[in-house]
Structure 1
């Protein structure tokens, strides 16, 4: 009981609400979204190419709109956009079951992708606004655990209730989003959380935002490293399933076991492993996670039976547990307070790897074989270490440069080393 009270006191009530919302949203959406292709095929009688267009455009829109949502939240405010994104998700899931027109289904898919990207970026930024810097890594770990908990329980609950993937699941998901949006409005007002906006008198200018982002070299290195890691993670489920189906006896059943193992490992090891890793630096956690990713991919390449693939998946998942919260915390560390949404949104560009991984992994699998594909992905994971290391080095040089400037100019006002104006430094220039 004391531990529960201590945990509740560690974070703002809105942070707890957003973590709970993460569970709720992932739980309900996992009853419907994974079955969207089947639903559109059987109920709406659409062709595979039309279904691919609908789902693909929504995912692509979400990949690049996280940055837009983050920028807007810095200048307009997080609270309003957070509610709007939830209402957008509500409309999208209700729209999937209300029409059979291809154009409208594409629009609803894009609305879902954009709204989900907005909610993910803005909720992380708001949670960071309300959480002390020393507790953010654990907060990100808890949020990651909450999402996995919902995705693990959702399909099971849907199957037990007999609603997994059917019309009721989509309607239920829509009303859950609506109810959560209304409750969040009440909580935001009752807790007195004010809108967080950038302290800027000028209007939103794309040129200004682009100048800020492209001038922050550490951020660019972290994004490139993130794209590489997401490429490795993104190809895992898509190309791995194809490889197992064609080359391993009962490969489809093995893939199901591996996906279950992935979820169970996250649920069991996420919190203890994250707390244990806090004794090490963020860079050390990232390097360890990348190495574990590479070891898992090498294991896939050399495995010939069930046991080899299962052990490799366990190792791969341990890397996932270390990497994802550390990646969020790493970008948070270099983020100017007044541009947190913008920087978190820029980090979401790493989701482009979810397109690159399945596509390029499929190319390698078609032209060569599974061994080449897995070994290539292992090398990509190791390559990402360079970008994270280089980003940390450039960040430390920037911090030291600012400190030396302040020492040599004692009459100038003291600045926050972490947050130089607009994240721009003269020594790094523009890329």
Structure 2
């Protein structure tokens, strides 16, 4: 363990630590966006669903291009442009006073995130020895959740459900993160530069065809779309349900506690769960995690008790850990080394689940109403579990491919 920690590059530590503060800034603002739009802007659940969904919709199409272009022009340029752009987007959120402006800002939020995230993960894979990659990816995931422990509580204390001034703080955090990255890149000038020979021989459509013909990768991607669909309801549909359900008192407060509990449970169970899950093919934890998330969502429909909701969050979180801690390792395992950024970018299409979740949730809340939570969350739970057949197919193909390589 100590040896692996010593092998982690200083730039990797910058990304991991920056992720803590970046996620803290994001989770004290963005998860409350749907509640703010309903409570302060008078938006309907469907309108709110469209505003929340546009971030992931833009991200779906920009993520692949961001990963691809980082292979061509270099990780450094993509990361710096996107993170400073991200800082400006949060300032835009703070200044917004119309629903359409929030729609525009969240679209740009999705664009910046989808350019920065796959590129930073590809850079981590570039500069990390093979034997340390699982540790580095899990440290990054732990950093995400460490920031998410504090973020929602700060957001609640700052009254983000009633005021959008907290977005200024988020913008400042990302600006400072960008400055630190500039210093690190200046100290490591050989890292994050363009792969010129790749840009000369592989077009964007060519890269799309290569990943599109990878049967294992596409099966995993389709399965993860449904996994992310289930995960996406926690930050969108559940928040709206807690706010507009008259039978739940102080819904915003309890939702913020649920977000914090989610992050705390991740920190507690992540490394024991990953240690156990690493004994199996990386697709198996995804399958089990998807089942856990679907069951946890069903609990929201069965019970309207805060205790039941908290237990559901614990079950949901274990499923989340199983689904997401192994995905970076899985993508890195499937990807062709010279197309690592492209594969990580293409994997961003799993955010289609985050597009569908708020739209489906908003539609169900409008059409059925909070008086029928069992019907709403039954539909959500079943749709979330639809990715399991695709993941089972990917597992069979991956096992066959590995057996063939051994022979």
TM over 0.5: yes
Partners in 1 of 2:143 and 2:119 — Cα distance? 17
> Which stretches in structure 2 are left out of the alignment for 5+ residues?
none
How much has 1:89 moved relative to structure 2? 1.1
Q: 1:198 touches 1:338 (CA, 8 Å); kept in 2?
A: no
> What is the number of residues matched between the two proteins?
399
- Counterpart for residue 230 of structure 1: 228
The answer as to whether partners of 1:70 and 1:118 remain within 8 angstroms in 2 is yes
The aligned counterpart of 2:245 is 246
Distance 1:153 1:202, change over 3 A: same
Q: In angstroms, what is the RMSD of aligned CA positions?
A: 3.5
Contact 2:125–2:133 (CA<8 Å) still a contact in 1?
Answer: yes
Deviation at 1:299, TM superposition (A): 3.2
> Structure 1 364/272 Cα, relative in aligned 2: closer, same or farther at 3 Å?
same
Residue number among 120, 123, 128 corresponding to 1:126 in the alignment: 123
2:334 corresponds to? 334
Shifted more, 26-35 versus 99-108: the winner is 99-108
Partner of 1:30: 27
Question: Relative to structure 1, is the Cα distance of residues 158 and 399 closer, same or farther in structure 2, using a 3 angstrom cutoff?
Answer: closer
Query: Residues 300 and 54 (structure 1 numbering): CA distance in 2 closer, same or farther, change over 3 Å?
Result: closer
Change (3 A) 1:373 1:35: closer
Q: Which residue of 2 aligns with 1:217?
A: 215
Closer/same/farther in 2, CA of residues 33 and 257 from structure 1, 3 Å limit: closer
User: Structure 2 matches for 1:85-234, cutoff 5 A?
Assistant: 85-97=82-94, 108-157=105-154, 169-194=166-191, 195=193, 197=195, 199-200=197-198, 202=200, 205-234=203-232
Structure 1 match to 2:312: 312
8 Å contact 1:121–1:341 — kept in the other structure?
Answer: yes
Asked if 1:13 corresponds to 2:36, the answer is no
Q: Does 1:281 align with 2:284?
A: no
Q: CA deviation at 1:393?
A: 2.3
Following TM superposition, by how much is the alpha carbon of 1:400 offset from its aligned partner in structure 2, in angstroms?
5.5
Q: Does the 8 Å contact 2:79/2:119 carry over to 1?
A: yes
Q: Using the alignment, how far apart are the partners of 1:103 and 1:241 within structure 2?
A: 21
Q: Does 1:82 align with 2:79?
A: yes
Change (3 A) 1:37 1:308: closer
Provide closer, same or farther for how the CA distance between residues 203 and 104 of structure 1 changes in structure 2, counting only shifts above 3 A.
farther
Alpha carbons 2:87, 2:174 under 8 Å: kept: yes
Per mean C-alpha deviation after superposition, the further-off stretch among 302-311 and 223-232 is 302-311
Contact 1:37 1:51 in 2 (8 A): yes
Deviations 1:290-348 (A, max 9, x none): 23223323433433534333322211211111111122222221001111111111111
> Residues 277 and 247 from structure 1, CA distance in 2 versus in 1: closer, same or farther, beyond 3 angstroms?
farther
Q: In the alignment, what sits opposite 2:386?
A: 383
- For the residues of structure 2 that align with 1:20 and 1:146, how far apart are their CA atoms? 7
Q: Distance in 2 between matches of 1:52 and 1:240?
A: 12
Q: CA deviation at 1:68?
A: 1.0
User: What are the superposed Cα offsets for residues 188-241 of structure 1, whole Å, 9 maximum, x if unpaired?
Assistant: 231344325274363552331221122111111111101111111112343334
Cα distance between partner residues in 2 of 1:32 and 1:243: 18
For residues 352-373 of structure 1, what are the alpha-carbon distances to aligned partners after superposition, in whole Å with 9 as ceiling and x for unaligned?
1112123224445534943233
Q: Could you say which residue in structure 2 is the equivalent of 1:395? A: 398
- Structure 1 residue 148 displacement after superposition: 1.7
How many angstroms apart in 2 are the aligned matches of 1:70 and 1:55?
A: 23
Greater gyration radius: 1
Q: 1:221 to 1:148 in 2, by over 3 A?
A: same
8 Å CA contact 2:23–2:144 kept in 1: the answer is yes
Aligned to 2:263: 263
Give the alignment of 1:286-297 within 5 angstroms.
286-297=286-297
Which residue number in structure 2 is paired with residue 66 of structure 1? 63
CA contact (8 A) 1:248 1:305 kept: no
